[in-house]
Amino acid sequence: MTKTIKSMLRVDAPNSPKLEEMLDAAIAENADEIILDMEETEYICSVGLRALIGTQKKLRDKTCKFIIRNVKPDIMEIFKVTGFTGILTIE
C-alpha cells in the first residue's frame, strides 16, 4: 500500500507537528511506501527538516520507502546545502 501525504505551504514550527503526525500515522498503517508531496510547500525550517529526518530514522529498520516528490527549487537548495539529498529519497 502506498500512502501519499500532501505537505503544507509552510513546514515550520507551528505546522511541523501536524506533518509529523501524518507521517507517523502512515508508518503505523504499515504502508509499503510513503510519498510526501511537497508541491505546495514554499518554506521549510530546521524543525521541518528534523521531522523529515526523524521519519527516515523511524523507517531505517522497516521495508517501507520514504519518497519526497515535487520539491520546489528553493526547497531543493535547502536540501542540498544541508546534505539531505544524500540522506532522503527525493524525486
**Phi and psi at residue 37, to the nearest 5°:** -90, 110
What pairing do the DSSP bridges indicate for beta strands 33-37 and 65-69? parallel
pLDDT, residue 60, reads: 87
pLDDT, residue 38, reads: 97
CA gap 42, 55 in Å, rounded: 20
pLDDT, residue 53, reads: 95
Q: Which residues of 29-39 are buried (b: 16+ CB within 10 A; e: fewer)?
A: eebeebbbebe
The pTM is what?
Answer: 0.92
Domains of the chain in start order, with CATH, are 2-90 (3.30.750.24)
Q: What is the mean pLDDT of each run of 10 residues along the chain (91 residues)?
A: 94 94 94 96 96 94 93 97 95 93
pLDDT, residue 62, reads: 85
